[in-house]
Amino acid sequence: MYPYRTISIIPRLPESIGRLRELAYNLWYSWNDQAMELFRFINPRLWEEVYHNPVQFLLRANEDELNNAAENKQFTNNYRKVMDSFDHYMQEKTWYDNCKTPESTQLIAYFSAEFGVHESHPTYSGGLGLLAGDHCKAASDLGLPFVGVGLLYKQGYFTQLIDSDGNQKPDYPFQNFSEMPITPVIDETGRELIVDVKLPGRRVYARIWKMLVGRVCILFLDADLTANRLEDRALTGQLYGGDKETRISQEILLGRAGVRALRAMGLKPTVWHINEGHAAFLLIERVRELAEEQGLPLGPALEAVRADSIFTTHTPVPAGHDVFTFEMVDRYYSHLYERMGLTREQLLELAKDLPEGGFNMTLLALRFCGHCNGVSRLHGEVSRAMFHHLYQGIPVEEVPISHITNGIHTLTWLAPELRELFNTYFDHDWEKKIANSATWAEVDAIPDKDFWQVHTALKAKALDFARKKLIEQRTRNQETFDRVKEVENYLTPNTLTIGFARRFATYKRANLIFSNKDQLLKLLNNPNGPVQLIFAGKAHPADTAGQELIKQINDLAAEEQFRGKIIFLENYDINVARCLVQGVDVWLNTPRRPMEASGTSGMKAALNGVLNCSILDGWWPEAYNGENGFSIGADWDFNDEEAQDKYDYNSLLTVLNQVIIPAFYDRQPDGTPVKWIQKMKQSIKTIAPRFSTERMVTEYTEKFYLSAMQRNSIFTADNYQMCQEMYKFKQFLINNWHNVQIINVQASEAETMPLGDELFIQATVRLKQIPREYIQVEIAYGEKCKDGLFRIHTLPLTAVDSCSSGDHIYEGSVALPQGNYGYTVRVRPNSPYFTHHFELPLVCWAPSF
Ligand SMILES: *Cc1c(COP(=O)(O)O)cnc(C)c1O
C-alpha cells in the first residue's frame, strides 16, 4: 500500500525566534558557525542526529525545547546577533557593485553535476563538487548575479561504511527532500514547475528545487516524479551511478532540462559557465534554441554560443572525460538533427575524439566555448598539451586554454576558533578583504602562545572526533567490548599527526607512505618524536583498485604494531574534512604528478595553519615558497610510474624523518614550537589570500564573465548580425588560408648583437584575396627547444608597401632581451572580436631559411 500523500506535522516556532526557519533555508549558515550554534544550543544531541541539517532539526525539535530557548537570554541575544549579521550580509554593498558596466546586471548561469555546499546536502563526490559549492558562496559574497544549475540525487553519491574486516561497504540511504534545505519552485498558479526532455521512446519530466546560498540560488532538477517511468525516476538516483545510458541521460537532463528550467523560471542568463564536461549538452540545447526560435543556421549559432560560454576542465585523468559512442548520440539526438538545422556528421564532428572516435564531452565544450581554462598553472600547461592535437600548427603554449587556479571559500573552512582569534588581531572588516594579502599579514601580530593554544584545542577536537567516529563504527559492526573500548587510548595529543583524506582514486597514491612496512614502523616510532596517521576517503563503488587500497590501510591499522597509530575514518565528507583540515599538524598529498589538476583540501589545511607536505603537483608549485610547508618528489615528468613511485617515496621518507619531525619537536622550555609556528603563520599568510574563492571568482569575473557579457550584447545585437559576420569571416579565411604564404624574410645575418640594439625585420607576405585587415603579421621570438620555440613573445609588423605582384611588405624591429633566441615571422587571423589569438586556429609560419 502506498500512502495517498505525505504530510509533515511540524512544531510551532515561538514567534520571537521565528526567523530560525528562514535561517534554516539559507545555506549562509554553512559558513557562519554562530548560526549553526543556535541549533546546537537548542538540542545538541538532536543536532548531531540530524547531521547538522537545520531543516530536519526544526521538524524534529520538540516545542518545549524551542520555548525554553526563546526564553533563554543568552540564546535570544545570540539569535539577534546572528539575524543582524544575516540581514547585514544580504543587504550590504558588494565588490560587484563597483564593477558596473552596461551589461553587468546580466545573469551568469553555472552548470555542474555536483555541488558540495554542506554535509546536510550530499550532492557531491569530491573536489569538483566542493569547488562548485565554494564558487557559489564566493559569488554570493562578491554580489554576482549568479545562478547554479545541477541535479538532485535521491541517494546522493554514497555513504561509506567500513565493515569489521576493513572493507568499504557502500550504503545508499534515500534523502527526504522535504527535510532538506531546499524548496520546490512553483509557477504563478502555485503548482510545482515541471520541465521535460525527450529521451529515446519517452519524455522525462523533472521538478525544480531551489537552494538559497546567501544571495545566490542553485537550482536542482529532480526526476523522481510519478509522471516518469520507474527507471526514469531513478535517473536522478545516484551521482556517478549506473551505466553509460544512465550517464548520458543524466547529462541530457542537466544540460537540456537545465536550460529549460531557467527559461521556465523566466531567467535570462547571458553567460553560461560549464563546470566540467558533464554539463556540455547545454551548448547543443542552445544551438537548438537559436535554430528553432531565431532561425539561425548552425555556423552563426555556434558563434552566438561561443560568444558567452565558458568551460572549465578539471582533470587530466582519462576517466574524468565522458566519451559516448556515436550510436548512443544518434539514439538520443537524431530527432533533433533536422530541427537544429544540422546533419548527423556536423554534430558528431563537433565532439569527435580523433584517436578513439567517440563523442567526447570535453572536446564538445572546448570547440564551443570562447573561454576555456584549467584549474592551476600546471594543469593549464597539462591541458594545453593534452588537447594540442586539435590545434595543428599552433605552438602548444598558445593553445587557447588558460588557467584560473582554484581556491576555497575561506569562511567555510576556517575553524571558528581561529576566526575569533583573527577578529581580535585583524582589521575589523577583514572578512570583506579576504583576497588581500595585507589582511593576512596580521597573523604575525598574534602571540605564538595564543596561536598554539588554539591549534592544540583544534587538534584535541579532531582527535576526539576521530575516536568517536571509530567507536561508532565498531559499535555498529558489533565488535567486541575490548575492541570498542581500546579506541579511547588511540591517538596521542602531543604526537605529530599527519592527515590524508581524499577520494581513493589510484593516482592519488594513498598507499605511498605504506610502501615499506619496516620504514613505516621506524617512522611512527622515530626517536626524535613519534608520528600518527589519520586517513579517510571513499573509492568509487566500481573502482576495485581504490577499494583494495582502503582494505590494505585498514589491515595495517589492525596490526598490533600499528594499533592506535594508524586510523582510517569512514565516510569522508564535508564534516570529516572540516574536522581534519582544522585539527591535524601536517596534511599529506602524494598524487602521481601531473595527474592532480589542482587539489583543494591542502588549501583548507593551509588556511588553518596545518602544514602541507605535498608532491609539487596541482596548486602546490604555485603556493610553495620554501617556508610555508614542505615539498616532496620532483618537479619534472617521469615516464616510468614505478621509478616515479620509488623516487617520491624516498623523498617523502627523507623529508618526514629529516625535516618535518625534527622541526615539529623542536620546542621552547614551555613547549611551544616557535619555528613550527613561524611556518604555520607563513602558510596562512601566503596561502589564505591567493587560494581563496574570493580571488578565484574575482578572476573569473574579470577575465571571463564581464567579457562574455559584453560579447553577448555585441553578438546578439541587430538580430545576431555579428554572429553572421563572424561566421562569414571565419569561413572566408578557412577557404582561402592555403593562399597565405611568407615569401621572404630579411633580417640581420649577424650571430650576435649588443643588448639594446634593435633587430630589423622585413617580410614579404602573399595574401592573394585576403584583405590585410583580416590578418596580423608578427614577429614571434622565444627560447629554442627541440620542437621550435617556447616562451613565445610577439610583436606586430607594419605593412609598408605593396608590390606590383600584389604581395605585401611588412617591417618592424625589436630589441631582444639578453640571451639566446630564435625568431620567426608568422601570419594569423585577426579580429577585435576574438577571445584568443587562435580562436580560429590558422597560422602561416615563415619557412626556415
Ligand atoms: C576539499 C574536499 C575535497 C577535495 O580535496 P582534494 O585535495 O582535491 O582531494 C574532496 N572531498 C571533500 C569532502 C572535501 O572537503
Ligand 1: residues within 6 Å at CB? 126-127, 130, 502, 572-574, 577, 599-602, 604
Asked if residue 679 has pLDDT above 60, the reply is yes
Substitution candidate for ligand 1 out of 114, 158, 503 with most atoms within 8 A of CB: 503
Which residues touch 345 (CB under 8 Å, ≥6 apart)? none
The span from the CA of 752 to the CA of 679, in Å, is 47
∠108-110-111 over CA atoms, to 5°?
150
Ligand 1 centroid from CA 307, angstroms? 32
Number of H helices, E strands in the chain: 31, 30
pLDDT at site 101? 72
Q: What is the three-class DSSP state of 494? A: coil
**pLDDT value at residue 780:** 95
Residues 6+ apart with CB under 8 A from 491: 463, 466, 467, 497, 532, 534, 564, 565, 567
If you measure from the C-alpha of residue 694 to the centroid of ligand 1, how many angstroms do you get, rounded to a whole number?
A: 18
Mean pLDDT value across residues 336-357: 86
Ligand 1 atom closest to Cα of residue 127: 4
CA distances from 548 to 31, 115, 539, 555 (A): 35, 28, 9, 10
C-alpha 736 to ligand 1 mean position (Å): 49
Ligand 1 centroid distance, CA of 316 (Å)? 17
Superfamily of domain 105-315+361-403: Glycogen Phosphorylase B; (3.40.50.2000)
Residue ID of nearest Cα to ligand 1 atom 3:
127
Cα(578)–Cα(604) distance, integer angstroms = 8
Mean pLDDT of 518-527: 94
Across all residues in the chain, what is the average pLDDT? 95
| Section 348-370 average pLDDT | 89
Closest CA to 208 of 267, 133, 159, 286: 267
The 3-state secondary structure of 396-464 reads HHHCCCEECCCCECHHHHCCHHHHHHHHHHCCCCHHHCCCCHHHHHHHHHCCHHHHHHHHHHHHHHHHH
Contact 770, 733 (CB under 8 A): yes
The pLDDT, as a whole number, for residue 356 is 65
pLDDT for 708:
96
pLDDT recorded at residue 1: 60
User: Could you give the C-alpha distances from 531 to 17, 335, 464, 527, 656, in angstroms and in order?
Assistant: 48, 62, 17, 10, 10
Does 3.40.50.2000 match the CATH number of domain 434-688? yes
Task: Please name the residue whose Cα sits nearest to atom 1 of ligand 1.
Answer: 601
With cell 612496512, the residue in question is: 517
Give 324-329's long-range contacts (Cβ < 8 A, gap of 24+): 324/244, 324/248, 324/358, 324/359, 324/361, 325/358, 325/359, 326/357, 326/358, 326/359, 328/244, 328/245, 328/248, 328/359, 329/248, 329/359
Whole-number pLDDT of residue 420: 97
pLDDT greater at residue 210 or residue 801: 210
Distance from C-alpha of 177 to C-alpha of 152, rounded to nearest angstrom: 9
pLDDT tens-place string over residues 369-411: 999 999 999 999 999 999 999 999 999 999 999 999 999 999 9
In degrees and rounded to multiples of 5, residue 176 shows phi and psi of -95, 105
* 733/411 Cα distance (integer angstroms): 50
Atom of ligand 1 nearest to the CA of 573: 13
Which one-letter amino acid corresponds to residue 526? Answer: N
DSSP 208-272: EEEEEETTEEEEEEE---TTS-HHHHGGGT-TT-S-HHHHHHHHHIIIIIHHHHHHHTT--EEEE
- Kindly state the helix (H) or strand (E) to which residue 483 belongs, with its residue range: helix 481-485
Nearest CA to ligand 1 atom 8: 599
Say which residues have a Cβ less than 8 Å from residue 741's Cβ, sequence separation at least 6: 765, 766, 844
Contact between 213 and 28 under an 8 Å Cβ cutoff? The reply is yes
Cell of 714: 555585441
**Most informative mutation of 31, 51, 114, 130 for ligand 1 (most atoms within 8 A of CB):** 130
Cα 693 to ligand 1 centre (Å): 14
pLDDT in tens, 401-449: 999 999 999 999 999 999 999 999 999 999 999 999 999 999 999 999 9
CA 502 / ligand 1 centre spacing (Å): 6
Summarize pLDDT for 762-818 with one digit per residue, the tens.
999 999 999 999 999 999 999 988 778 889 999 999 999 888 888 999 999 999 989
CA distance 121 to 115: 9
Ligand 1 mean position, distance from CA 322 (Å): 21
Closest Cα to residue 689, out of 679, 698, 678, 701?
698
The answer to whether the beta carbons of residues 375 and 314 sit under 8 Å apart is yes
Q: Does the pLDDT value for residue 848 go beyond 90?
A: no
In degrees and rounded to multiples of 5, residue 658 shows phi and psi of -95, -20
Residue 357 has pLDDT above 80, yes or no: no
- Could you read off the pLDDT of 92-130 as tens digits, one per residue? 999 999 887 777 679 999 999 999 999 999 999 999 999
For residue 646, list its beta bridge partners.
Answer: none
Closest CA relative to residue 825, chosen from 785, 784, 777: 777
pLDDT score at 122: 92
Q: Which three cell numbers stand for residue 553?
A: 590501510
Identical fold for domains 105-315+361-403 and 740-845, yes or no, is no
Substitution candidate for ligand 1 out of 314, 600, 603 with most atoms within 8 A of CB = 600
Contacts of 316 (CB under 8 A, 6+ apart): 379, 382, 383, 386, 594, 595, 597
Res. 355 pLDDT band, cuts 50 70 90: low
Contact predicate 116/412, CB 8 Å: no
Strand, helix or coil at 544? helix
Q: What is the percentage of the chain residues whose pLDDT exceeds 70?
A: 99
Mean pLDDT throughout 205-210? Answer: 98
Contact 497, 585 (CB under 8 A): yes
pLDDT of 690 reads 98
Beta strand residue intervals within 67-121, DSSP E: 107-112, 115-116
Cell numbers describing residue 800: 609598408
- The pLDDT-based confidence of 4 (bands split at 50, 70, 90) is confident
What are the b/e assignments for 382-408, b being 16+ CB within 10 Å?
bbbebbbebbeebbeebbbbbbbbbbb
**pLDDT per residue as tens digits for the range 633-654:** 988 888 899 999 999 999 999 9
Protein residue with its CA nearest to atom 9 in ligand 1: 502
Pocket probe for ligand 1: among 51, 317, 375, 502, the residue whose CB has the most ligand atoms within 8 Å is 502
Q: Write the class of the CATH domain 740-845.
A: mainly beta
* pLDDT at residue 849 tops 60: no
**Angle in degrees, 0-180, between the axes of helices 33-42 and 63-71, rounded to the nearest 10:** 120
Domain ranges of the chain: 15-91, 105-315+361-403, 434-688, 740-845
pLDDT (0 to 100) of residue 105? 75
Give the Cα separation of 218 and 148 in Å (integer). Answer: 4
pLDDT of 209 > 80? The answer is yes
Q: What is the per-residue pLDDT for 569?
A: 98
User: Which atom from ligand 1 is nearest to the alpha carbon of 600?
Assistant: 7
Which parts of 333-412 are beta strand (E)? 359-360, 371-374, 402-403
Amino acid identity of residue 792, one-letter, is I
Q: Are 102 and 43 in contact (CB under 8 A)?
A: no
The answer to whether the CB of 571 falls within 8 A of the CB of 649 is no
- Reported confidence tier of residue 749, pLDDT bands at 50, 70, 90: confident
pLDDT in tens, 247-275: 999 999 999 999 999 999 999 999 999 99
Order the strands of the 775-785 sheet from edge to edge: 788-796, 775-785, 822-829, 844-845
